[in-house]
Amino acid sequence: MGFKKDVSKVAMYFGTTDDANQFYQNYTKRVGFVTKIRFTRRVGKDKVPKNQMITCNREEKRKSRVSPIEKTNPRTNYNCPTRISIRLNKESLWVISKVCLYHSNPCDPEMAKLLTRNREMSMHMCRVIERNDEAGMRRPSKTYQVLVGEAGGFFKINLMEKGVRNYLSRKVRNVTEEMNAREMLKYFTRMKDMNSDFYFDV
């Protein structure tokens, strides 16, 4: 693989847990899996973090209470052992103490961009979506095809069609809330004109 420098190794150290997490995230994006913080051990009255374990999100087998048929986003756990453990040393640096790179679940680097945590929407994508919406292109699928064409193919874009639909839904909701706020302000102003004792504050 061409990303050996991104592979976590025992005794590597970082200034903060965020730095360690970011380093590991860079590796996971290239391999094609998503992580989760399994636990963080804190000590003392101030609850200072001392240890942290980061694992593959397919780390354990758990029987869900929700029927697979009823799940909107079903997921299979593989009891994957992939993980790193980091601890705070005496120099206040975070050191990798344990590493396991073996996966029991399939990983696809080509599909890594489409994993939920790795999806991104740039300012340019937002402008394209808004411009097409204002031009009357109401179907998100059409706008998504434009974005895919600009990126040079489906595997070169960190976005799914659902992301376009969600962005437009949030925009409509924000506009509606803004309009409701303006109408409420007009109502309060009219009430103030009708009754000098009426008071409101914004």
User: What tens digit of pLDDT does each residue of 128-164 get?
Assistant: 888 888 788 778 888 888 888 887 877 677 777 777 8
Q: Quickly count: other Cβ atoms within 10 Å of residue 188's Cβ.
A: 15
| Spatial distance between the Cα atoms of 85 and 78, rounded to a whole number of angstroms | 20
Q: What is the arithmetic mean of pLDDT over 1-5?
A: 51
**Nearest to residue 174, comparing CAs of 186, 182, 162?**
182
| Spatial distance between the Cα atoms of 126 and 170, rounded to a whole number of angstroms | 12
Most confident of 33-47, 88-102, 119-133: 88-102
Q: What is the mean pLDDT of the chain?
A: 76
**Nearest to residue 35, comparing CAs of 13, 20, 16?**
20
Q: What is the DSSP letter of 136?
A: T
182: tokens are: 């303006």
Q: Is the pLDDT of residue 85 over 60?
A: yes
Q: What is the pLDDT of residue 1?
A: 45
Q: What is the pLDDT of residue 119?
A: 66
pLDDT confidence tier of residue 34, bands split at 50, 70 and 90: confident
| Spatial distance between the Cα atoms of 168 and 173, rounded to a whole number of angstroms | 9
The answer to whether the beta carbons of residues 132 and 147 sit under 8 Å apart is no
| Spatial distance between the Cα atoms of 36 and 143, rounded to a whole number of angstroms | 32
Buried residues in 56-81 as b, exposed as e (16+ CB within 10 A): bbbbeeeeeeeeeeeeeeeeebeebe
Q: Is the pLDDT of residue 166 over 70?
A: yes
The answer to whether the beta carbons of residues 13 and 96 sit under 8 Å apart is yes
Q: Is the pLDDT of residue 52 over 90?
A: yes
